[in-house]
Amino acid sequence: MIIYREENEIIKKALENLNIPKRVYIFDTTLRDGEQTPGVSLTPEEKIEIAIKLDELGVDVIEAGFPVSSLGEQEAIKKICSLNLDAEICGLARAVKKDIDVAIDCGVDRIHTFIATSPLHRKYKLKKSKEEIIDIAVEAIEYIKEHGIKVEFSAEDATRTELDYLIEVYKKAVETGADIINVPDTVGVMIPRAMYYLINELKKEIKVPISVHCHNDFGLAVANSLAAVEAGAEQVHCTINGLGERGGNAALEEVVMSLMSIYGVKTNIKTQKLYDISQLVSKYTEIKVQPNKAIVGENAFAHESGIHAHGVLAHALTYEPIPPELVGQKRKIILGKHTGTHAIEAKLKELGIEVGRDINKEQFEEIVKRIKSLGDKGKRVTDRDVEAIVEDVVGKLAKKDRVVELEQIAVMTGNKVIPTASVALKIEEEIKKSSAIGVGPVDAAVKAVQKAIGEKIKLKEYHINAITGGTDALAEVIVTLEGYGREITTKAASEDIVRASVEAVIDGINKILVKKEK
Ligand code: KIV
Ligand code: ZN
């Protein structure tokens, strides 16, 4: 696995003299803070399935929920605890006896207990003095320890708390028996430099492991978590897909991949499973992963521009910081208006079509033109679209063998208008124009072509398939024509069904006429 700290001189220099832990523990809170994402509510069965997958992924701690919040929550947490997973199972509890009792009753390995410490929370939410808050925290920690359960203590809104007081609270918590202290950036106001400073200060005073819990209100949750690790934090709270209250929490996949690939810090995560669990969580929470989301987004390893696709095909690291397989993803070469010939050639190869063997240069150029024109119309070109274009281009007779070409087509249709089509065909250097009416625009257009050609060629069958969904889908038209004692079936594809229909008919006519000449 590439480690940028070893390979990149700038990163190496920037991280010199820092006490970065060799191994960081991943505390996953998808099933607690992640479930607090507005609109998300998981059933006990869904929570259990996600917990099993988190365990397989290799997280060290699963915060399975907030036990006191509901009976369903307790049912799910109890079941998760009974599974004997490798991960430690943790339950959240306010620093109150009732919450702690319910968490103990669920059978958790660790209780994450918290009380707010910032002036804002003391004054408006808790209406308690600094001393009262310390007393409540101490009492809660003592009570949990009496039950022989591991305690993780959080000073809620730590990052907006007076530093001296925060240190005092954490020191008291550790003296009372807290096994690990967690530093929540509850409303995400930290910046990396400030987070580094805070953790560095705490490290001087606190002798148990330090954890961070960063929210993403300013989009800095991952950066702040990494800054905390740079200052020596040993554990990071995160969620799959960055779910969580408001702007969410630090995204697990981003924290883990940065730690492992940039810092060279070990975690227990089996990174190849990241994409699948991201999909599972997205399915159950019904929160879509944004396409440009780092690591697990659909575009994270997709390349469309000619320059990038060419680079990646020559050497993947040119435009990919890590191989997609490392996180369970696949490289995608997306065809569209920015696509270059290298990418199209590679895509054709992927579909089993080789330039020079299956198609000639002229056909390849036509395929490139058609793909780019589809992209120009704002369409994402799928593999099926490419196949239809190839079939269409390959199925056509070479220009020199064609007797009839479509020069122009105009169609009029609408409410209270009889569908009418006019076509101009070039038949052996002579332009022939005709128009016809029909039951619809396709019917009118096909009739206009037939009229120009004469009665000797007849349309026997007509089928249309939409290749991809949407009103801009590529349509494939298959026609069977009969004339001069022959029957020809041919097809054409275009995002315009009238055009596809006319082209299929003209192609069929060409094939009949060429055969007739021969
Ligand atoms: O963001 C927060 O402060 C929390 C606490 C419960 C730790 O989630
Ligand atoms: Zn939180």
Task: Please write the tens of the pLDDT for every residue from 413-458.
Answer: 888 889 999 999 998 888 999 999 999 888 899 899 988 887 778 8
CB atoms near residue 83 (< 10 Å): 12
Least trusted range by pLDDT, from 53-62, 90-99, 256-265, 415-424: 415-424
Which 3 state secondary structure label does DSSP give 490? Answer: strand
Closest-CA residue to 155 (of 94, 110, 234, 245): 94
Separation of 156 CA from ligand 2 center, angstroms?
8
Question: What is the pLDDT at residue 172?
Answer: 98
Which 3 state secondary structure label does DSSP give 394? Answer: helix
Task: Please write the tens of the pLDDT for every residue from 225-235.
Answer: 999 999 999 99
Looking at the DSSP bridge assignments, the partners of residue 479 are 462, 490
Q: Which amino acid is at 361?
A: K
Question: What is the pLDDT at residue 313?
Answer: 86
Q: Which residues contact 373 (CB under 8 A, 6 or more apart)?
A: none
> Can you tell me the mean pLDDT for 350-373?
90
Provide the residue ranges of all domains of the chain, joining segments of one domain with +: 4-285, 302-320+327-395, 401-517
Q: Which amino acid is at 192?
A: P
Task: Please write the tens of the pLDDT for every residue from 465-494.
Answer: 877 666 667 788 888 888 888 788 888 888
**Positive or negative: CA dihedral 170, 173, 178, 182:** negative
| Bridge pairing between strands 110-116 and 332-333 | unpaired
Catalogue the E-assigned strands of 352-474.
404-412, 420-427, 430-437, 457-466
Which pLDDT band, with edges at 50, 70 and 90, does 516 fall under?
low
**Distance between CA atoms of 329 and 280, rounded to whole angstroms?**
14
**Distance between CA atoms of 43 and 365, rounded to whole angstroms?**
54
Task: Please write the tens of the pLDDT for every residue from 128-143.
Answer: 999 999 999 999 999 9
Helix %, strand %, coil % of the chain (to 5): 45, 20, 30
CB atoms near residue 97 (< 10 Å): 12
- CATH number of the domain at 401-517, please? 3.30.160.270
Least trusted range by pLDDT, from 65-74, 139-148, 416-425: 416-425
Question: What is the pLDDT at residue 468?
Answer: 67
Task: Please write the tens of the pLDDT for every residue from 286-300.
Answer: 999 999 999 999 999
Separation of 376 CA from ligand 2 center, angstroms?
44
Q: From the CB of 156, is ligand 1 less than 6 Å away? A: yes
Ligand nearest the Cα atom of residue 182: 1
**Distance between CA atoms of 250 and 240, rounded to whole angstroms?**
9
Separation of 75 CA from ligand 2 center, angstroms?
22
Q: Give domain 4-285's CATH number out of 3.40.50.10490, 3.40.50.300, 3.20.20.70, 3.50.50.60.
A: 3.20.20.70
- Best residue among 66, 159, 215, 235 to mutate for probing ligand 1's pocket (most ligand atoms within 8 Å of CB) is 215
The mean of the pLDDT values for the chain is: 93
Least trusted range by pLDDT, from 82-96, 148-162, 176-190, 359-373: 359-373
Q: From the CB of 121, is ligand 1 less than 6 Å away? A: no
Separation of 238 CA from ligand 2 center, angstroms?
9
Question: What is the pLDDT at residue 141?
Answer: 98
Q: From the CB of 35, is ligand 1 less than 6 Å away? A: no
